[in-house]
Amino acid sequence: MSDTLQGRSIDPGDEAQLLATIDRWVEKDVRPIAKEYDHADRYPEATVEQMKELGLFGATISPEYGGLGLPAGTYAKIVARISQDWMAVTGIFNSHLMLALAIEKFGTPDQKAHWLPKLATGEVRGGLALTEPDAGTDLQGIRMTARRDGNGYVINGTKTWISNGIEGSCFALLVKTDPEAEPRHKGMSLFIAPKQEGFRVGRKLEKLGYKSIDSGELVFDDYRIPADNLIGGVEGQGFYQATGGLALGRINVAARGVGIAEGALQLALDYAQIRRTFGKPIAEHQAIQLKLGDMAARARAARLLVLDAARKFDSGERCDMEAGMAKLFATEAALENATESLRIHGGYGYSKEYDIERLYRDAPLLCIGEGTNEMQRIIIARQLVKQGGLAS
């Protein structure tokens, strides 16, 4: 990982002030609209403008390009806090920051100077365009091609399940510049792809949860792009560039899991103290206490795993195993806590009037996105075998 992206730190006082600002913003502007916007699957335009003002679109971008330059640990705490109330909001800026990460880590000096300041302010917003109808976790199976044509490329194909696909304006686009290359990953390249002629949104994809952030199908039909938009300026590096931010991406998804696990616990605790059965609050019934105890332990363990992975990332060490552990445990904790919280709410948990049903719908995505949890288990096991066990 480039030194410009790791080794960052923040003064504890500055971090506390930043987190307090985020907390006030969530309480005042995010929580009050979450239910309405989620049920309507409505894009939160005013919230996006507020996130621009808060600097969230430049959260992990280096200060030299106008970003906040936050370390992974602080960024994870922000994501967890927002996700306690409305996870979808975090996806709007996180997917965008994965685009910025690809450019900052692998881009040419000109690419960084041109794109990163615009991404940091949110003037340009977007994300990663990797997944295709027949290629998700197996990125080497993509079919989109880019053919060299003079001083540029002509791109054809379709991407799907792209976050910010409709509202975003620019994407890191993974294509095959040499479809015959063996092994397959050596024929892949990554481009900076702004919306223009030849690039259209096919359709908006409807989802169980994770509403209000648009997931789109992107169609490229003889889309012409200058060679200057090839990230790094060299063909054949796209697979490594696209997967180069996986550790940070998994820390982010794990942080969302922490937020949902903690949010579900708080909702359950609040409800259990006001709901009465057999003459006393249900929080005084042992069956409910057993659930709350397990939920609290899961949420705490998830947070500590995320902070451990973030600490290792920020120190510049390799952390794919730690990030995988955090992603695996925290997202499963989110799903378990959301389920248990809904059960504590009883029939009301199944009602759209209560916030827990949103967390219950959002949580399953985390076990699938950024590499399925089945894949995380394989990654963890392979690293254990390679290292000969857990490091102290």
Structure tokens at 92: 């709007």
Please say if 353 is a catalytic residue.
Answer: no
Secondary structure string (H, E, C) spanning 250-311: HHHHHHHHHHHHHHHHHHHHHHHHHCEECCEEHHHCHHHHHHHHHHHHHHHHHHHHHHHHHH
Closest CA to 162 of 122, 123, 189, 135: 135
Pair of tokens at residue 233: 């300026």
Cα 172 to chain center, whole Å?
15
| Residue 44 and residue 89 in contact, taking contact as beta carbons nearer than 8 Å | yes
Whether a cis peptide bond, with omega within 30° of 0, leads into 183 is: yes
Please tell me which residue in 104, 132, 262, 370 is annotated as part of the active site.
370
Do 218 and 157 touch, CB atoms closer than 8 A? no
205: left (phi over 0), alpha (psi -120 to 50) or beta: beta
Catalogue the active-site residues.
370
